[in-house]
Structure 1
Amino acid sequence: MSESTTRRLTVAQALVRFLSVQYTERDGVRRRLIAGTWGIFGHGNVAGLGQALMEAGIGDGAAMPFHQGRNEQAMVHAAVGYARQLNRLSAQAVTTSIGPGATNLVTGAALATINRLPVLLLPGDYFATRPADPLLQQLEHPVEADLSVNDTLRPVSRYFDRVTRPEALIPSALNAMRVLADPAETGAVTLALPQDVQAEAYDWPEEFFADRVWRVRRPVPDPVELEEAARAIRSAARPLLVAGGGVHHSEAEEALRALADATGIPVASTQAGKGSLRHDHPADLGGIGHTGTAVCDATARTADLVIGVGTRYSDFTTASGTLFQHPGVRFLNLNITAFDSHKLAARTVVGDARAALEALGAALDGHRVDSAYEAEYRAGKEAWERVVESAYRADDDGAVPTQTQLLGALDAVVGDEDVVINAAGSLPGDLHKLWRARSPRQYHLEYGYSCMGYEIPAAIGVQQAAPDTPVWALVGDGTYLMMPTEIVTAVQEGLPVNLVLVQNHGYASIGGLSESVGGERFGTAYRYRAADGTFSGAPLPVDLAANAASLGMDVLRAKTVRELREALVTARASDRPTCVYVETDPAATAPPAEAWWDVPVAEVASREAASNARERYERDVAARRRHL
């Protein structure tokens, strides 16, 4: 047997070459696993991965397309947006220098892992050979000399390794791909790369660079679990299905629709699962939980069987354990991960969401919920639609729009194919209650981490994944001020993302929360200090529209409902990055919360507002249940 041939490359060159020939395959469709690399270069990666990416990323048909970022956290957000748009079947890598560039990855990594979305992180690291000690930006630990700032990425990564020898890259890179492509394991994956090792040459086996396909499995449910699940549903009088993000990730929307059509079981949606059914489907009850619709939360309170599909049951979904109040309520969870399927002491069906829903539909052949139950929730759905119409309606086109009227104006402009992105502030609650999702990819809410600053870079990632799709980033002034930098990237790359920038002079959602828990909106307004030292003076003279224009965006200022509608139409037709700037009327027009959310209130306080809030808190928390 002849020896395998080898290729002499640096570690960085070998890694880039390896990444360029990795693929996923599901249902016969093949995609690049790592479709491109974002990067900001410094002394920890410029001579290693920087040099390797230059060789691989120049010219037509580049082996590894390179994307230049402005902020390390934002680069991760862009990669996450890209992966989510493509149902986790394709991802991007992010490289940074050691030091602040690497630690800036931590927030994005947490977001990716919490939301179960794949991203490959390639931070530089200190010299493995330790020729000087300490180095620039080195964190010195008195008893752990091998510790680096990259270790902050360990708890927020699904897989972490520090590659201190060239030959160690082979098993590490293979394990990284395994985790990224595994629907039950995926999240942020970190390969920390010492800067001297990146530049070191090694004779690599040619087999390392052969095309490799990682098949994304669709595990089918266990027959016994499936039989028990079908029996539980057939015996339930008031079942409710909760669709989570796993429905989208597994492309199970059609299987869910078929099940709802056949059985009449109503469908609630989490923030990640909204759009699993089209908004006008008779069984779609909209959002569930603290930001849910009245009909959905009322149905949840009386459900005797809750069927979770691809959801991890966050506190917003369960209303902090107070939502599901039927005395005999039981849970049935369909999930690809056993960890999530066992939540709430549920019966479990471990498997791919599409495979499980299809099998469940067959097992329930001929079964349908009682007609009175269908009539009840359909009447509630019709009543809620009137609430939406009222919130969207603007009786005076010359008036300053409210935030819900802004959503109504956008609803009238978007097509089924448009993608609407949001993550933080008061908009997620309004969107979950009111948005009429028309397609599986339209509603893009990052609410696992609800990270301010996500929206603009995520819009760039979505636009890269779906270049012919109109993409909208809905951003409040607080979020905008945290991370507007990737506007420059959108301009540089010619990506026609649309930014709807809502000016309400502060952290509006936290201001409302603060008031409800006795905090009296302290420290939440963007205003001058008043004589008493509080931020209650005049609004600050900032011009965020001018800032967006200075970064290269076309900017449309809308002062009235009519101008807003016109600006949104213009933005959607533009082939350039465009910002629609609007200052909204602060009047509260959104429906109030239909379910509780647990934010502990001071047990003792000298101010009346906090004391009153504590009394309300003690009444509300008494409704919490532990489902065993």
Structure 2
Amino acid sequence: MSTIRLTMAQALLRFLDHQYVSVDGQEQKFVQGVMGIFGHGNVTGMGEALERSPGALTYIQGKNEQGMVHAATAFAKQKNRHQIYACTTSIGPGALNMVTAAATATVNRIPVLLLPGDNFASRQPDPVLQQLEVPGDYTISATDPFKPVSRYWDRIVRPEQLMTAAVSAMRVLTDPAETGAVTLALPQDVQAEAYDYPLSFFDKKIHYIDRRPAAPDAMSRAAELVRGKSRPLLIAGGGVLYASAGTELAAFAEAFGIPVAETQAGKSSLPWNHPLQVGAIGVTGSLAANRLAREADVIIGVGTRYSDFTTASKSAFTHPDVQFVNLNISGFDSSKLSGAALTADARLGLQALHEALAASGYRSGYGPGEIDELKREWDTEVDRLYAARHEAGLAQTRALGVINETIDPSSVIVCAAGSLPGDLHRLWRSAAPKTYHMEYGFSCMGYEVAGAFGAALAEPQREVYALVGDGSYLMMHAELVTSLQEGRKITVLLFDNHGFQCIHNLQRSQGSDGFGNEFRYRSGDTGRLTGSYMPIDFAAHARSLGAKAYKAGTAEELREALLQAKRETVTTLIEIPVVPGTNTDGYESWWNVGVPEVSASGKVVEAHRQMKARTQAIKLI
């Protein structure tokens, strides 16, 4: 057997450089490169390999370990999970900084390969700098916290173990039903240890991502269930986009007169002006979709994991005979809500269900013009909110209207946390697939700027906009510098409402007077954070990093700043002061957050009573 002597780190890179995927007959390189931040735990192992023998892999220098994993996640999401970046860090703090981002990738079912450094396998020296010592179990290290947030985890304590671990890692990364974060912990001495690897380990490997059809019996059961219902509602989740099934979704809805609502991950599956597109569903849903959900007797969920925001904490579907048909590539998700499980690729599943229903002449029972009227009513409400004016300044919904009307419809918008996701889910008018990039599986603050950089890496031909609140921006914005370093322009639209106003609003809606969520100075009178707002010049901060920057306090200024930003060739930030509390609120929806049963405040006790009454009224599904 022919062999080549390489360090484990060198062998890992050589292996990754020869991995490909094939989808619908189209072959492409799977691993594009490695994002990294070096420390003593990886610089002489992975670092040396990346410096001397990277092959065709590109190295991108991260600025924050969590941020670079968010960027890698966004890249893979925008690429429909068919291409990835790996991420490498040192041991200890560098590794642990990736845990939150690993969870974000796993919750959203997005592939990302994490290569954190680890303790010396030889235990010499011991304890090494930044080693986490657990006296009762010396096998535990700072990479063990990755176990619950990874879809696959392994620690390579001998260089030859790489051969089985790497193959297993690729199996999970390329499986649309099982994918998420994959962690290979790399002890820093083993990274540099050499082994005679067989050359066959580095042969080009093609991973075929085959579309999986539904079992015939499962399809028959699902079709029979739908045929017995008159008020179906389709819910399009992220699986529709990952399967490139938008055409099949539209054809299915049109054939049977079924309205389509969208989750955060599924938004842009249909253009906003499609006659059967009724908008967002659930807690952040539209009035049209939520009214239809309430009266639906069957929900056909396609590629959705049915989060509490989608189901409005299971309060959205109140028809006494409502049932669920769950088309999902993951058996875990297709079995939810006691539904008829269709475990299959979204495109093939929709096609097969379409054929089965068409053969029986099925048609929904919606009255003439019923869906049109609901859609017109909601479009009028969006127009009103987009035009809303406020005497104290720029309303958040007005700012979103200006942005939606000004930027190119092919642009990609990226968001994740705060009040913006709710407004965008309800109001944003997406014209084409993959233009709405929302991380709402984990709603991870700090994703926005890093995610925009990842999306720009994936689609450099498009303008990419990060819509981010001031709280989330302050939490993490370091990959803005990486976007400048890499020459991948993003435009950051920073909504400054003086704090964590989304949670401030939620807090007050449950009986609080508001506490600890606004960016105010500490008051000498109250001893609390109730002084004046802190003035933060975000535009000046962005300029100090090398970006272009503008401020826009009116709709007219914002429109002009957007046009100016489009002409810029480097990353640009537009600071947009908005009036707190000018976001949208629930449209016949509810979210169960848990309210104290006992409190010194009568308002809180009353909020608890209302919550308890609402939970008792929910149908157990």
Q: Structures share a fold, TM > 0.5?
A: yes
Q: Within the alignment, does 1:18 sit opposite 2:11 as a pair?
A: no
Q: What is the correspondence of 1:396-435 to structure 2 with a 5 Å cutoff?
A: 400-435=393-428
What residue is the counterpart of 2:534 in the other structure?
Answer: 540
CA contact (8 A) 1:37 1:67 kept: yes
Q: Which residue number in structure 2 is paired with residue 482 of structure 1?
A: 475
**In 2, Cα distance between the equivalents of 1:255 and 1:56?**
44
Does structure 1 retain, via aligned residues, the 8 Å contact 2:258–2:364? no
Tell whether 2:229 aligns with 1:236.
yes
Q: Compared with structure 1, are the counterparts of its residues 400 and 130 closer, same or farther at alpha carbon in structure 2 (3 Å cutoff)? A: same
Query: Is the 2:256–2:364 contact (alpha carbons within 8 Å) kept by the matching residues of 1?
Result: no
Structure 1 residue 371: Cα displacement = 6.0
CA shift for structure 1 position 51: 0.5
Query: Could you tell me whether the CA contact under 8 Å between 2:598 and 2:605 is conserved in 1?
Result: yes
Deviation string 1:275-294 (CA, Å, 9 cap, x unpaired) is 11111111111110010001
Q: How does 1:247-266 map to 2 (within 5 A)?
A: 247-266=240-259
What amino acid does structure 1 have at the position aligned with 2:87?
A: V
Q: Residue in 2 aligned with 1:592?
A: 586
> 2:290 — aligned with what?
297
CA distance in 2, matches of 1:375, 1:261: 14
Partner of 2:561: 567
Aligned counterparts of 2:193 and 2:512: Cα–Cα separation in 1: 56
After TM superposition, list the pairs within 5 Å mapping 1:42-61 onto structure 2. 42-57=39-54
> Which residue is equivalent to 1:273?
266
| Equivalent residue in structure 2 for 1:203, among 159, 171, 196 | 196
CA distance in 2, matches of 1:477, 1:415: 24
Amino acid at match of 2:232: P
CA distance, structure 1, for counterparts of residue 595 and residue 539 of structure 2: 37
1:245 aligns with 2:238: yes
Shift of 1:560: 1.1
- Out of 86, 108, 115, the residue aligned to residue 108 of structure 2 is 115
Map of 1:440 onto structure 2: 433
Are 1:510 and 1:521, in contact at CA under 8 Å, matched by a contact in 2? Answer: no
1:28 aligns with 2:25: yes
Q: Cα–Cα, structure 1 residues 67 and 327, in superposed 2: closer, same or farther, change >3 Å?
A: same
- Check the 8 A contact 2:595/2:607 in 1, yes or no: yes
Q: CA deviation at 1:591?
A: 4.7
Cα distance in 2 for partners of 1:544, 1:511 equals 21
Distance 2:367 2:560 in 1: 43
Q: State the Cα RMSD in Å.
A: 1.4
Determine the C-alpha separation between the residues in 2 that align with 1:563 and 1:415: 18
Cα distance in 1 for partners of 2:368, 2:32 equals 46
Question: Cα distance 1:491–1:527, how it changes in 2: closer, same or farther (>3 A)?
Answer: same
In structure 2, which of residues 108, 128, 136 is the aligned counterpart of residue 143 of structure 1?
136
Q: Distance in 1 between matches of 2:579 and 2:348?
A: 47
Is 1:383 the equivalent of 2:383?
no
Q: Distance in 2 between matches of 1:585 and 1:374?
A: 41
Q: 2: CA distance between counterparts of 1:374 and 1:99?
A: 63
What is the CA-CA distance between 1:323 and the residue it aligns to? 1.0
Write the mapping of 1:451-600 to structure 2, written as runs, cut at 5 A. Answer: 451-530=444-523, 531-588=525-582, 590-600=584-594
Q: Which residue of 1 aligns with 2:35?
A: 38
Taking the aligned partners of 1:484 and 1:545, their CA distance within structure 2 comes to 13
Among 196, 201, 216, the alignment partner of 2:209 is 216
Please say if 1:620 is aligned against 2:614.
yes
In 2, distance between residues paired with 1:559 and 1:450? 27
1:194 aligns with 2:191: no
What is the aligned residue count?
619
Give the secondary-structure state (helix, strand or coil) at the position aligned to 1:47: coil
Q: State the alpha-carbon separation in 1 of the partners of residues 448 and 51 from structure 2.
A: 29
Supply the AA of the counterpart residue of 2:251: A
Please tell me whether the aligned partners of residues 253 and 259 of structure 2 are also in contact (alpha carbons under 8 angstroms): yes
Secondary structure, in 3 states, of the residue corresponding to 2:149? coil
Q: CA deviation at 1:374?
A: 5.6
Cα separation, 2, equivalents of 1:371 and 1:622:
31
CA distance in 2, matches of 1:599, 1:538: 30
Question: TM-score under structure 1 normalisation?
Answer: 0.97
Pair 1:71–1:587, CA change in 2 (3 A): closer
Q: CA deviation at 1:612?
A: 2.5
Partners of 1:142 and 1:590 in 2: CA distance: 52
Q: In the alignment, which of 357, 360, 375 is matched to residue 353 of structure 2?
A: 360
1:249 to partner: Cα distance: 0.8
User: Equivalents in 2 of 1:56, 1:579: separation in Å?
Assistant: 37
* 1:133 CA drift (Å): 2.0
Task: Tell me if 1:607 matches 2:604.
Answer: no
| Secondary structure class of the residue paired with 1:31 | strand
How far apart are 1:368 and its partner, in Å? 4.8
SS, match of residue 112 in structure 1 = helix
Q: State the identity %.
A: 49
In 1, distance between residues paired with 2:311 and 2:365? Answer: 27
Q: 1:475: Cα distance to partner?
A: 0.6
1:189 positional shift: 0.2
Q: Is the 8 A contact 2:230 2:365 kept in 1?
A: no
**Residue 7 (1) aligns with residue 4 (2):** yes
**Could you list the per-position Cα deviations for residues 391-411 of structure 1 after superposition, in whole angstroms to 9, with x for gaps in the alignment?**
001569x98321111110111
Distance 1:519 1:41 in 2: 45
1:520 shift after superposition: 2.0
Deviation at 1:351, TM superposition (A): 0.6
Give the distance between the partners of 1:589 and 1:508, measured in 2 at CA: 10
